[in-house]
Structure 1
Amino acid sequence: MPSGTSNEQSGNVSGSSVQAGVIHGGVYFGGAHVERPPIPRQLPAPSPNFINRTNELSALDGHLAERGNLVAVLFGPGGVGKSALARQWAHGRLDRFVDGQLYADLRGFSDTEPLDPGVVLSAFLRALGVAPDRIPPHLAEQVTLYRTVTANSSLLVILDDAYSAAQVRTLLPASTSAAVVVTSRRRLTGLLPDGACLVEVGPLPAPEAVELLGRAVGRERILREAAPAEELAGICGGLPIALVVAAARLASRPKLTVRRMVDDLADEAQRLTRLSVVEGLSIRTTFQFSYQALTAEASVLYRRLALHPGAEFGMDLISVVAGAGGVDGARVGTVVGELLDANLVEEVTEDRFRYHDLLRLYAREMSEQDDPPDDRLAAVRLMLEFYLAAARRADRVVTPYRRRLPYVYQQALDGPPEFSDRAAALGWLDRERSNLLEAGRVAFDLGLHELTWQLSDVAWPLLLYFKGYQERLEIDERGVRAAQAWGNMWAEAVMLKRLGRACSRVGAHEAAERHGRAAVDRYRQVGDIQGVIDAEEGLATLYADTGREDQAAEAYARVLAGRRTLPNARSVGLSCLNLGMLRTRTGRPADALPLLVEAGQIFAELSEVDPYNAARVLIGLADAYLGTGDLAAAEESAIEAVRRMAELGTDSERAEAVFLLGRIARRRGDDEAARQHYREAAAIFAALAAPRLPDVLRRLDELDGGVAERQHVPAGAPEVQGSGGPPAVEQSSHHSEQPDRQSAGSGQPAEATRLVAAYPDGDIPRPGPDDGEGQPGIRHQQALADRGRLAVVDDGHDDVGQPG
């Protein structure tokens, strides 16, 4: 190069440059003219069926605002509307992502293999302006180039139907201002180290599900049949794909009523078929893709658990079922995790699970298709026997004094829970209440009569503590039928006795007496003397309930004499307590005291085994002492009864003891103390909607100048009649001149509604003084007030055993 000539280039050059001396003429660069590629706009249109999802949309916005960028996984079962949610959120935020949107259907759960990330990367790179011949052949190099191209981009990426975290991870842009929304039937927790947030997408709530139907079919049509529309939404379980299919059927048949469609879908065996008839939309196919992705262990467990008799099940039952299917105990959690990750089951609370109704139906279809009938029956029986074994353990903790028939198991069980104390056992019984009831129904329907009877028998402590007399009637009636079909007369006697007492509690006195006498007859035929005495005491209670006090007193005395000949001190104590309380009720408190003192001595030695009746004796003593005028002894017994009943959580009996303290204070002339006790008792009885409330309000009315009712009757409580007049005589705290009445409880269960209808004046018969074996309606998570069960003391001479 000649001296003084330089060929330098400084600064940045975009495109080609020419470095030369003097140029004559034009300069030509080979190749086509290159323009800036269009901004990618790949996002599909929003779904016309999108409804609500306010919480999920807010969650996505919150994560984006907090971090400035976003990696979000929308997970949930197939057909729940994850894709529609992702598109809806994205379309509402397009202005934020000025460099465009990328979209890919990863085909994670479809009839083809999941899409290879390299295929998606190539498509994304081309959309971002990279020439096809510039895209490297190897995946690692593609990822590097993709990150380079997206490094400073304000880009929105939607990855639909992802199969795994690995499939997604290669498609994450490098930009700190980008957003990635992934939808999957799995949780994809493997993306958490990449900064992902997980947003669960569940079925639509009922109002939104009905709104979706109205949007697709026409609001007027849905409004005309509002109740059937709500039923249809419930049958579809709030699952958008099911709702859309149902709506499509309605739309295609303008004359088809919603009620007719609900009736068509009532048959569970045909439900999935009838929700899989619209072209391009099939619930069965949607579920199939998730099911086929399961491991062999998980698919077996998915099918077996669908045969469970109730809606929810616990981890202890899952362990038993999985173990029977060959799953090692150490792997049970992993297999359950696979079902959870696939959203084929859902976790309701810690270690409590359930199916979406349609997923349960699909699992049962798969079980019918893949499992031999004998295997299916064995799986069902295994679960029924699990509940029998666990309830038996709870029964022995809660009511250790019961005599029992040895139960027979077809399969060896290792998994049923152990209970450390009464509270743990009661907690399990309360939690599994509906499963125990359904287990009895299933066993009876399968013709397993011995097992049905056993499930009825073992439910005794559940019925004692948590009441529910309609359930009790069902269980005891089924127990009678099962015993008859089984051909076991002693088992029939047990259930007849229990059924008679249950009928008495709901005022069906003729049926109660018929069943009670039949129980006495069956016990005599099998030679069970104690059973005869127990059944006769049930009849004595019936006499007391129906105002036949003289007949009741004779029967109680006869029962007590018979029990003194048997080696069972507790039964003697109960008979003393029952007869003593009856004597106090009928104006003979002095004659009652020796019996009540004897009962107190017996239960003082049994307070660990039967703390409830030990405390109940104190109420009986306080009442009798008050009747004899020994106010100091009455107060001492009542105070101790309040303390013990409070420890046991027995609200109804605690209120009785507090009411007694008020009566004692009134007898002493301490009106202010009486007022305080009455108000406390009234508040408890009002919370329980107890029939004792009018008695307390009447006494408060005497002290408060007629305003007691207005101050203490809860909203919606029945009107109290005749509370203004003074009492003719001082009545027992447990019994007035009329037989005491049983509470219908709070809430609105059918049993309470029926009782109110049957006794419009509120004179619902209440158990008499024999209710000693029974446990109270305890305040277990406010079971009485919240569930509307009959808040009364129950009977309990169910400590029966095999004769001889």
Structure 2
Amino acid sequence: MQPLTNASLTAALRSATSEQLDQLEPLTGKLRRPLTDDQCDEIARTVLAGTPGLVTGIAVWVAMVSSDVNNSISGSAQFTGTTVQAREIHGGIHVRVESPALPTPRQLLPIPSHFTGRSEELCRLDRMADPAGPVLVVVTGPAGVGKTALGSYWLRGLAAEYPDGQLYADLRGHAPEGPTDPTEVLGGFLRAFGVSPVPSELAEQAALWRSLTARRRLILMLDNAVSAAQVRPLRPGSDGGVVLVTSRLRLTGLALDGADFLPLGLLAPEAGTELLRSRIGTGRIEAEPDSARQVVDRCGGLPLALCVAAARLAARPAQAISVTAAALGRDTDRLGTLRIGDEDAVQGALDASRRLLSPAARRLYGLLGRLPFAEFGRELATAVGGSAAEADDALEELTEVHLLEETGRERLKFHDLVRLHARGTDPGGVDAVRRAVDWYLAVATAAETLISPNHRSMARSYAEQLPRPVPFGDEPGALAWLDAEQFQLMTALRTAAEADWHPTVWQLADAMWPLFLRLRPYALWIEAHERGLAAARAAADPAAEARMLTSGAAGLRNAGRLVEAAEWYRQALALAERSGDPRSGSQARNGLGQLARLAGRPAEAVGHFEQAVALREGIGHDRGAAVFRISLAEARLALDEHPEAVRLLELARAQLLAVPDRYEAARALALLGRANGTVDPELAERHLRAAIDEFRACGSRHWEARCHELLGELAGSTGDPAEQRARYEHALELYRAVRAPDVDRLTERLVELSARRVSD
């Protein structure tokens, strides 16, 4: 018998009768009729790659149907294995080829006993599953977030719908020795279905794999993939299968293959507690609920960290949970605590992710890990890392492998454990921190220059000059940036204070003045100036000390801490008199006048304000004199000297519009509305409505609220209680937004209005 070849088998298939094809079906399965040329070629390739028994059986069939077969045996020829000689055969012939039966592959990983808290993600996966067509799902997320556990749990729930096999392969995308070659994976899949020998070339393997799976309903899980190119050859040829891929990378290239993507986030605290409960029992959780909560919080919702912490606790049943909570609370040893035996579970997972990075991305990873900020913008990362192009590429890598998380508005953040890991990988952290703090100082100063150019008079000093592109282009943008970055700015200030960078501390407090004045975050205002005052004194800088005293006292006064404010103003006045600084002296006098007015001593306030105006006029500072005239006008109003108050306010507004200083000019307009309320209510209302528009344009929510309150007072005086109440409620909403102490006062007014309405 001639050797079986692709050509001989294809020719036999093409020429076979229906009866002859019926004899072939016990070996190949049901064949659709008529056979096309492509189908003949496909069957030939499949057979030749099959088991020896299958190949031999088909060879016998070919010998039966081929008219040109004419083999002879003579002499001392010897044969091994199964041998058939056929020339003339009468009657039926039956060929039975025995080969070992292989079980249907069932390779999915076991479902983790601690799996919990992913109901929303499971519902999303169910919506992605389409029983009528092929399904390709990519689950992405950071190391240790539970991608494999989620995939295994979901696929096992589908197993009954896919009876032809469930296969699993670890593509080892993050292994030190490199990812798995697709030929290795395909070889394993083909052997699982009895194919032997397996072709050595990837293209042949992939073609055979598609042919073998063309009519099968399969589940395929490809774990830890590193690229779309690694995944594509492994996809089966069936229209009714599910392929689930997990990766720390986004694998966006698989979108071209019709993939659905599921980014997997951190566990919610409740789910984390449930995971802990499943490992150590309800009794221990209920005995130490606060410590259990601390363990969950300090693992940051990362399932791998929670599992390791739970295993540590389960191995020490007599040990208090508080011991593990305390160990996790020490940043210097938190990653070491998350160890199982000799295995650094979390550390190892993060090390594997870091290995995927380029040298530039590794360097930036270490530098950013040293920063004291919980989150930061791309501009800051660029300032820390060097050139913009290099930083952009490095940040893209870090987000691609989920070592950095994008939080929106071009902002990035580390998971707490990832940040600790990054912090331990670069020794140049101190310089990075200084560059970051200087960046915040420079950009805040640029915002101050746009919003309050007349306040921008103090020096700035930087450790090194770096290009600092400003992330805003106008005054509203600058104020919005200060608002969005206020907590990062305070973190920068605290970091500078802890490092004894004294000039940087008070300069940051000074640069944040527009934020404090317009948006009134009182707690930050006071803390910044307390730290700034200490730094100015440590630096022996009297000008800086005076600025911190007067600006800080304004924060104390507005927050209702009047006794402390008075002490700061008195210290500022004494310092100004000792150093001969009329500018600081006038600022202190203005502050003392404000306190006297608030205490119900308007005549005393007038004396302070008049001295403040005179000091400013004496040094030719017309803007400062105009601002203090506004304060003087308020005191005159308290003394019912309305015509003089109106004159002062009109003069001050004209001077401030000429500077221009839109914010202070709007204050003068608002107080003009108040001053005219008793003599010309219509004019007063026009002034207040116009002032609201001006304050809104300046971003001053506090004074916008104050104008609504003044409109409410005006409505009350003209006999419109419904309008009065509406204005007060609107003002109260704005006061609450800036956490102003005016909230309590205005709430009482509203209660009084309600009581009056009931009594009427």
- What do residues 274-325 of structure 1 show as CA deviations (whole Å, max 9, x unaligned)? 11244556111111111122110110011111122211111111222232xx
Aligned residue for 2:416?
357
Aligned to 2:3: none
Alpha carbons of structure 1 residues 37 and 457: separation in structure 2 relative to 1, 3 Å: same
| Paired AA for residue 21 in structure 2 | G
- Change in CA separation of 1:48 and 1:467 when aligned onto 2, cut-off 3 Å: same
CA–CA distance in structure 1, aligned partners of residues 701 and 178 of structure 2: 62
Kindly state the Cα deviation for residue 613 of structure 1 after the two structures are TM-superposed. 2.2
Deviates more, 1:118-127 or 1:658-667: 658-667
Residue 687 of structure 2 is aligned to residue 622 of structure 1 = no
Report how many aligned residue pairs link the two structures: 683
Residue equivalent to 1:415: 468
Equivalence for 1:484: 537
Equivalent-residue separation in structure 1 for 2:704 and 2:90 (angstroms): 113
Which of these residues, 378, 395, 398, is aligned with residue 339 of structure 1?
398
Report the Cα offset of residue 482 of structure 1: 1.1
Deviation of 1:220 (Å):
2.7
Measured in 1, the distance between the counterparts of 2:527 and 2:757 equals 45
Secondary structure of 1:198's counterpart equals: strand
Q: Find out whether 1:682 has 2:729 as its counterpart.
A: yes
Q: Identify if the C-alpha distance between structure 1 residues 431 and 66 changes in structure 2 by more than 3 Å, giving closer, same or farther.
A: farther
Q: Is the 8 A contact 1:249 1:278 kept in 2?
A: no
| Residue identity opposite 2:532 in structure 1 | G
CA contact under 8 A between 2:141 and 2:147: conserved in structure 1? yes
Q: 1:702 to 1:634 in 2, by over 3 A?
A: farther
Matched, 1:348 2:407: yes
CA contact (8 A) 1:216 1:247 kept: yes
1:529 to 582, 588, 608: 582
1:194 equivalent among 231, 234, 257:
257
Q: Residues 665 and 488 of structure 1: is their aligned pair in 2 closer, same or farther, counting only changes over 3 Å? A: closer
Q: Kindly tell me: are residues 451 and 331 of structure 1, through their superposed partners in 2, closer, same or farther at Cα, counting changes over 3 Å?
A: same
**Among 179, 188, 193, the residue aligned to 1:123:** 188
Offset of residue 65 of structure 1:
2.3
Retained in 2: the 8 A contact 1:71–1:181?
Answer: yes
Mapped partners of 1:421, 1:706: distance in 2: 52
- Equivalent residue number for residue 367 of structure 2: 304
Q: Distance between the aligned counterparts of 1:695 and 1:600, measured in 2?
A: 33
Match of residue 640, structure 1, among 663, 666, 690 = 690
Q: Which whole-Å CA distance do the structure 1 matches of 2:178 and 2:688 have between them? A: 75
Mapping of residues 494-509 of structure 1, within 5 Å: 494-509=547-562
State the distance in 1 between where 2:556 and 2:716 align.
37
State the 1:152 CA deviation: 1.7
Q: Deviations over 1:731-765 (max 9, x none)?
A: xxxxxxxxxxxxxxxxxxxxxxxxxxxxxxxxxxx
Q: Which moved more, 1:33-42 or 1:385-394?
A: 33-42
Q: Does the C-alpha gap of structure 1 residues 702 and 230 become closer, same or farther in structure 2, counting only changes over 3 Å? A: closer
Aligned to 2:481: 428
2:496–2:502 Cα contact (<8 Å) kept: yes
In the alignment, does 2:103 pair up with 1:38?
yes
Write the distance in 2 (CA, Å) between the matches of 1:535 and 1:154: 83
Shift of 1:35: 4.8
CA contact (8 A) 2:376 2:413 kept: yes
Change (3 A) 1:351 1:532: same
Name the Cα RMSD after superposition. 2.6
Give yes or no for the alignment of 1:137 onto 2:197: no
CA shift for structure 1 position 699? 7.2
More helix by share: 2
Structure 2 contact 280–314 (Cα < 8 Å) conserved: yes
- Gap change, CA 1:67 and 1:389, over 3 Å in 2: farther
- After superposition, residues 140-151 of structure 1 pair within 5 angstroms as 140-151=203-214
Deviation at 1:410, TM superposition (A): 2.3
Task: Give, in angstroms, the shift of residue 59 of structure 1.
Answer: 2.4
Find the aligned partners of 1:267 and 1:440 in 2 and give their Cα distance.
23
Residue 140 (structure 2) aligned to one of 47, 57, 75: 75
How is 1:463-482 mapped onto 2 (pairs within 5 angstroms)? 463-482=516-535
SS of the aligned residue for 2:169 comes to: strand
Give the distance between the partners of 2:87 and 2:364, measured in 1 at CA: 82
Task: Tell me the distance in 1 between the aligned counterparts of 2:98 and 2:492.
Answer: 77
1:307-353 deviation line (CA, Å, top 9, x unaligned): 22211111111222232xxx5x3343322111111111111114210
564-573 or 86-95, which deviates more: 564-573
Equivalents in 1 of 2:592, 2:518: separation in Å? 22
Q: Distance in 1 between matches of 2:540 and 2:408?
A: 42
Aligned to 1:178: 241
2:21 aligned partner: 11
Alignment partners' CA distance in 1, 2:334 and 2:491: 22
> What are the ranges of 5 or more consecutive residues in structure 1 without an aligned counterpart?
1-6, 708-804
What is the Cα deviation at residue 665 of structure 1? 4.9
Query: 1:67–1:502: structure 2 CA closer, same or farther, 3 Å change rule?
Result: farther
Q: Using the TM superposition, give the Cα deviation of residue 674 of structure 1 relative to its aligned residue in structure 2, in angstroms.
A: 4.8
2: distance between equivalents of 1:60 and 1:682?
47
- How far is 1:27 from its partner? 7.1
Distance in 1 separating the partners of 2:221 and 2:443: 49
Could you tell me how far 1:243 is from its partner in structure 2?
A: 0.4
1:282 is aligned to 2:345: yes
Report the AA paired with residue 357 of structure 1.
D
Q: How much does 1:182 deviate?
A: 1.0
Counterpart residue number, 1:98: 163
Counterpart residue number, 1:802 = none
**Amino acid across the alignment from 2:398:** L
Structure 1 residues 463 and 308: alpha-carbon distance in aligned structure 2, compared to 1, 3 A threshold = same
Of structures 1 and 2, the one scoring higher in RCO (CA 8 A, sep 6+) is 1
SS at match of 2:271: helix
Percentage of identical aligned residues: 34
The answer (yes or no) to whether the contact 2:248–2:402 under 8 Å persists in 1 is yes
Residue in structure 2 matched with residue 587 of structure 1 by the alignment: 640
Q: Which amino acid is 2:186 matched to?
A: L
Change (3 A) 1:539 1:644: same
Q: Secondary structure at the match of 2:206?
A: helix
Compute the displacement of 1:52 (Å).
2.2
CA shift, 1:206, in A, is 1.1
Q: TM-score, normalised by structure 2?
A: 0.84
Instruction: Indicate if the aligned counterparts of 1:659 and 1:696 stay in contact, CA closer than 8 A.
Output: no
Displacement after TM superposition at 1:594 (Å): 2.4
What is the correspondence of 1:370-381 to structure 2 with a 5 Å cutoff? Answer: 371=427, 375-381=428-434
CA distance in 1, matches of 2:422, 2:405: 14
CA contact (8 A) 2:224 2:247 kept: yes
Q: Is residue 314 of structure 1 aligned with residue 342 of structure 2?
A: no
TM-score under structure 1 length normalisation: 0.80
Query: Residues of 1 paired with 2:105 and 2:280: CA distance?
Result: 35
| CA distance in 2: counterparts of 1:681 and 1:649, whole angstroms | 20
- Counterpart for residue 653 of structure 1: 703
Structure 2, unpaired ranges of 5+: 1-15, 28-56, 65-85, 737-742
2: distance between equivalents of 1:67 and 1:502?
67
Give the equivalent residue in structure 2 for 1:457: 510
Q: 1:663 to 1:139 in 2, by over 3 A?
A: closer
Q: 1:10 to 1:119 in 2, by over 3 A?
A: same
User: Would the alpha carbon gap of residues 650 and 401 (structure 1) be closer, same or farther in structure 2, given more than 3 Å must change?
Assistant: same
Aligned to 1:166: 229
In structure 1, how many angstroms separate the alpha carbons of the residues matched to 2:220 and 2:703? 65
Which of 114, 119, 124 does residue 59 from structure 1 map onto?
124
The CA deviation string for residues 115-160 of structure 1, in whole angstroms up to 9 with x for no partner, is 22111111100101212x2x11222211111111111211101111
For residues 665 and 343 of structure 1, the distance between their equivalents in structure 2, rounded to whole angstroms, comes to 57
Q: 1:366 is paired with a residue of what secondary structure?
A: coil
1:443 aligns with 2:474: no
Residue range with higher mean Cα deviation, 516-525 or 82-91: 516-525
Alignment of 1:765-784 (within 5 A): none
Deviation at 1:651, TM superposition (A): 4.7
Letter in 1 for 2:672: L
How far did 1:165 drift? 1.9
1:514 counterpart = 2:564? no
User: Does the CA contact (< 8 Å) of 2:107 and 2:167 recur in 1?
Assistant: yes
1:217-238 Cα shifts (integer Å, max 9, x gaps)? 1123213332332222111010
Secondary structure at 1:576 match in 2: helix
